[in-house]
Amino acid sequence: MKQIISNSLIIVFFLINAAQAFAQSPYEISVKRDLPILTLGLAGGIGSVAADFGITPLVPGQINQRIANPNDVNSFDRRAIDFYSSSARRNSDILLYSSYTYPFLFLLNKKSRNEFLPIGVMTAEVVLINGSLTAFTKGFVQRARPFVYNPDVDIEEKLGKNARLSFYSGHTSVVSSLSFFGARVFSDYHPDSKWKPIIWSAAALIPAATGYFRVKGGKHFPTDVITGYITGGLIGYFIPVLHRKKDNDQKVGINIYPGPTSLGMTMTW
């Protein structure tokens, strides 16, 4: 395991240095900033594996108790107990797997295709940070999924570890992180594009649809998908913002200057 981690960090180190060659990129990649982010993501992944070992599957007595007491679930989430649509689960899987292609769409555009390494480093950070945080939270909280409370679902499915990984929705967080990441990067490369409203609308609606299907599929409560949507979206949005190049000639400040009969003020940022 140590060898795998060390090799991964070495590869990341060379990727970051190679990425610095792309001077026209709107983003700035540096070892000082990005190596700790990627290391944190890798460490979080290891921590989530450890948390997974601590998950204890439910036993029939615990399952029967939940079936008998659906009111233990808060009123906002309780509506999800009766849902268990296989088609909804399939639809959520399609949206999840499709989202992994979003970063590759930048290869279709010449401007962003020539700067694939900065985009690749940021994509790795989004995937690692979001995946690690989601998995670690699931293993720590161990919330029973809605179908555990549903008397019509086969008890065999309720006996596995997966039945205790409801909070929060990994499907929704992944799709949200990659959707908002894609929209943010597109906007940075094409600030004047007429497609921006469509891109941002899609970035907001696709993870929302994913969350809807996860609830209808009996896999998550509404609060699970809302949390996944917000958490993933924030990670996907702010990783590119964190890497935006700063104009050294443009500093934040307020200048006040006197006039013959008044004072003037200018603000720069």
- Number of domains the chain contains: 1
Quick one: pLDDT at residue 7? Answer: 44
Residue among 214, 202, 182 nearest 96 (CA): 214
pLDDT digits over 155-171, tens only? 999 999 999 999 999 99
pLDDT value at residue 108: 83
Express each pLDDT in 14-39 by its tens digit: 444 444 444 467 898 888 888 988 88
Rounded alpha-carbon distances, angstroms, from residue 87 to 21, 90, 100, 164, 256: 47, 5, 21, 22, 63
Residue 244 has pLDDT above 80, yes or no: yes
In this prediction, what percent of the chain has a pLDDT beyond 90? 62
The strand pairing partners of 264, in sequence order, are 257
- pLDDT of 2 over the 50 cut: no
**φ, ψ of residue 211 in degrees (nearest 5):** -60, -40
What confidence score (pLDDT) does residue 21 get?
Answer: 41
Q: How confident is the model at residue 218 (pLDDT cuts 50, 70, 90)?
A: very high
Domain hosting residue 115, numbered range: 2-268
In tens, the pLDDT along 118-138 reads 899 999 999 999 999 999 899
